[in-house]
Amino acid sequence: MIERDADLSGANTLALPARAERLARPDSEAALAGALATRGAGEPLFVLGQGSNIVLDGDLPGLTLIPSLGGIDYREQGDDTARVTVGAGVVWDTLVADTVARGWRGLENLSLIPGTAGAAPFQNIGAYGVELADVLESVDTLAVADGRSVRFAAADCEFDYRDSLFKSRRRGEFIITGITLTLRRHGPCRVDYGGLAARFADADPASLDPAMVRQAVIEQRQSKLPDPAVLPNAGSFFKNPVVSVAHHHRLKADWPELVAFPHRDGMKLAAGWLIERAGWKGRRLGPVGMHRDQALVLVNHGGARAADVRALAAAVRADVRKRFAVDLEQEPVVLP
């Protein structure tokens, strides 16, 4: 069924007002192909999940699809591994909870990330030292041009930090219909990152199970990140920038407490730290602001429009550039 002039204000976690000219929520590959077939020549096409990583800058013309294919299918391979195939419309954290409850490890660090399984490869979601790419085997898609089914092996997805070929080089060419992951029964959990390292500093790694790690991740995320249902936001609004080693040295001389991590192209800086030091933590501009506890999260205090988001993002980027000579790149995708 195709809905006309559909309200999208509840379909994006920043709660920006927007409408879709035509909207469908296909729940099978056949329904998806059917919806695609209604598209007129040159008609714009947009694909959404739960709208937790987008900025809706006005109404979406043409056809908007929210792939709603369900299903979590486990195929155990011996005692130690399982291949899990998941429909694009499955809520990501429902999947994580299900795998952890069955004792499979691999997704526990990615607990409570909003959104759908289908969107997860788009920006190679990551948290607490783990990325989707670490456990992904393949991505099933439908090619927009001719409706063909195309499977991408993980190695061909051009995954990078919050990036993939679906987000960059071949953006708009494929609709993700499902993903397949490889999970393990045994082996160590990854707790060497950020708050998890402190939480489990005294624990024997062999005694940890994925349920314990999931619980710790949930507690830490709930204490740090604003819930979009209470304070609309799109998570981290900027990526952590990578600068050259020489640039890092210059900054470190002026700011000895600078937060940075080695990266293959230089040093990765903590964008939240830069934004805080540029004076934006907890500061508002009109109805939007940078969160008072998490400077990296742009929040809608009520009634914001895309122009308000744009103005704040530009002001933050300008101040960070002026103070640190660092360009911040926005993480959420702007549509249309």
Q: Which residues bind ligand FAD (CB under 6 A)?
A: 13, 47-54, 67, 88, 113-116, 118-120, 122-123, 125-127, 166, 175-176, 225, 228, 233-235, 333
Residue 54 or 243 having the CB closest to ligand FAD: 54
Q: From the CB of 226, what's the least distance to ligand FAD, in Å?
A: 7
Active site residue 148: no
Active site residue 284: no
Q: From the CB of 257, what's the least distance to ligand FAD, in Å?
A: 24
Q: From the CB of 4, what's the least distance to ligand FAD, in Å?
A: 20
Query: What residues are paired with 268 via a beta bridge?
Result: 242, 261
Q: Which structure tokens are listed for 59?
A: 């109404």
Q: From the CB of 159, what's the least distance to ligand FAD, in Å?
A: 12
Residue 143 or 285 having the CB closest to ligand FAD: 143
Q: From the CB of 45, what's the least distance to ligand FAD, in Å?
A: 10
Residue 15 or 267 having the CB closest to ligand FAD: 15
Q: From the CB of 123, what's the least distance to ligand FAD, in Å?
A: 5
- Residue 79: how many CB atoms within 10 A of its CB? 7
Residue 8 or 251 having the CB closest to ligand FAD: 8
Residue 47 or 86 having the CB closest to ligand FAD: 47
Q: How far is CA 207 from each of CA 82, 188, 191, 210, 212, rounded to the nearest angstrom?
A: 22, 9, 12, 10, 10
- Which amino acid, one-letter code, is at 123? Q
Q: What burial class does residue 218 get, using C-beta atoms within 10 Å of its C-beta: 0-12 exposed, 13-18 middle, 19+ buried?
A: middle
- Directed axis angle between helix 210-224 and helix 92-101, to 10°? 150
Active site residue 158: no
Contact assessment for residue 275 and residue 240, using Cβ atoms and an 8 Å cutoff: no
Contact assessment for residue 43 and residue 2, using Cβ atoms and an 8 Å cutoff: no
Determine which one of 25, 162, 190, 305 is catalytic. 162
Determine which one of 21, 52, 236, 305 is catalytic. 236
Residue 198 or 206 having the CB closest to ligand FAD: 198
Active site residues: 162, 236, 331
